[in-house]
Amino acid sequence: MASIQAVCQIVNTKGLHVRAATLLAQLAGTFDGTITIEHGGEQANAKSVMNLLLLTAPMGASVRIVVQGDNAEEALDAVQALISSGFGE
């Protein structure tokens, strides 16, 4: 199964904190495929709030989003939109 990926910048002032990680995990959980977020040489399952928090991605950090699955393009677009929106903050 092929994967697609994109790089996105964390734009909200608090970075990937608890609320943002929760929103991202909830969104990722709506898709069947695998969604991985990479930052600073670390990888996190986007469906796990705890994994996302361990990335410690602050404002301005670039994260790579890697998606595999049947609806990969839709999932990638949704995750990029959430991150680019500053998680609604």
State pLDDT tens for residues 54-79. Answer: 999 999 999 999 999 989 999 999 99
Is 90 exceeded by the pLDDT of residue 47? yes
Average of per-residue pLDDT values in the chain: 95
What residue ranges do the domains of the chain occupy?
3-88
- Active-site residue 39, yes or no? no
Class of domain 3-88: alpha beta
1-10 tens-digit pLDDT: 679 999 999 9
pTM: 0.94
DSSP class per residue in 43-84: EEETT-HHHHHTT---TT-EEEEEEESTTHHHHHHHHHHHHH
Residue from 8, 15, 16, 17 carrying the catalytic annotation: 17
Q: Tens digit of pLDDT for each residue in 3-35?
A: 999 999 999 999 999 999 999 999 999 999 999
